[in-house]
Structure 1
């Protein structure tokens, strides 16, 4: 199992490994989640296994924990997810600098449009992988957009529409959505088409039904 393969070398306490895995799975399988689920984590792990990373264990830990805390109405999800990762790693043999690095990667997902260190290859891969759904084929993108809307189901359309439009406009105004050469080439154009289409949908009759 991926979690066991990743954590067994630096977390000697097998009971703790198992307990945290169960807590993570429960978080990602919570009924209010529709996109930020284990499927999202699996997709990112698949991408991580297909590339050469400088510190794959750190990146994979960041993937596992980056959406561990997800409340659509809160703005501190990334900070709390990073804190959860650090709490788990307190009991590990992983070097403190690498533990802090896991938290740093998670915290950088708070705003994908912010400037990023251009020479931090693992960070740029992680952020691009997290955004890769934006460049998905059109049917998959619309399903993602509907899933996100369901995660905000307690927010009425009169509030969700302008909020979502602001998010979409901010992303479209970003010079580069994808910072790695490979994902920029493969996904940038389709991501911008998808984002623009969703923006127009919210300015019109709303998302198409699946």
Structure 2
């Protein structure tokens, strides 16, 4: 909790953790099959390290591995670590029920109502306040374009039905508002 409560965090703080856990509950209530314990543990650890560096997911996975080893069996531990690593790119295989549930819950913020989505974008910008606006905008546009290029943002039936259209609209709207990337 102390890591998530770090004041330097914007979006990836305690509110995000709470939202991901709530979306996992929503997925379970909608009948989405997944193993609750490893997925919830992975949710707790997926952004345990978040400092804007590229290897944050790997460091979060290492932390999970070290912290959970005395408390869970080897198979569960391996699954938690795998799931944490999966949140780097949010591209689970179709048959990966645990990965689909976790990544859908993690990305569900993309489908938030406009005002909440705009707060999310501002919170992400806070986390990258050390970057000049043009560098942040270019990086953010790259992330959004990579998400938009996915055939589906969400992988569970509930995620597709409840969040896909709104998320695509939010991404398109945000991309329209970013400065045009220099293509030279």
1:201 matched to which residue of 2?
Answer: 177
| Contact map agreement 2:104 2:156 (CA 8 A) in 1 | yes
**2:48 corresponds to:** 68
Q: Supply the distance in 1 between the matched residues of 2:94 and 2:134 (Cα, whole angstroms).
A: 38
Summarize the Cα distance change of 1:54–1:187 in structure 2 as closer, same or farther, 3 Å threshold: closer
Alpha-carbon distance in 1 for matches of 2:165, 2:150: 13
Question: Which residue matches 1:19?
Answer: none
Q: TM-score, normalised by structure 2?
A: 0.91
Deviations 1:37-84 (A, max 9, x none): 111111121222341544211111101111000011x11111110111
Residue of structure 2 equivalent to 1:175: 151
Equivalent position to 1:141, from 110, 117, 133: 117
State the 1:190 CA deviation: 0.8
Structure 2 counterparts to residues 19-168 of structure 1, below 5 A? 25-50=1-26, 51=28, 53-72=33-52, 74-92=53-71, 94-112=72-90, 114=91, 116-168=92-144
The TM-score, its normalising length taken from structure 1, stands at: 0.80
Distance 2:75 2:106 in 1: 23
Name the SS for the 2:87 alignment partner.
helix
State the shift of 1:192 in Å: 0.8
C-alpha displacement of 1:26: 1.4
Paired residue total: 176
Structure 1: runs of 5 or more not aligned: 1-24, 205-210
Q: Distance in 1 between matches of 2:112 and 2:50?
A: 23
Name which one, 1 or 2, has greater alpha-carbon Rg: 1
Distance in 2, matches of 1:43 and 1:137, equals: 14
Distance 2:128 2:40 in 1: 27
The C-alpha deviation readout for 1:150-181, integer Å capped at 9, x for no partner, is 10000001211111111111111111000111
For 1:89 and 1:26, the matched residues in 2 are separated by 17
Kindly indicate whether structure 1 or structure 2 has the higher relative contact order, using CA contacts under 8 Å at least 6 residues apart. 2
Deviations 1:80-121 (A, max 9, x none): 1011111011211x2101101000000001112x4x221111
SS across alignment from 2:51? coil
Contact 2:49 2:60 (C-alpha < 8 Å) held by counterparts: yes
- 1:188 corresponding residue in structure 2: 164
Q: Aligned partners of 1:169 and 1:136: how far apart in 2?
A: 18
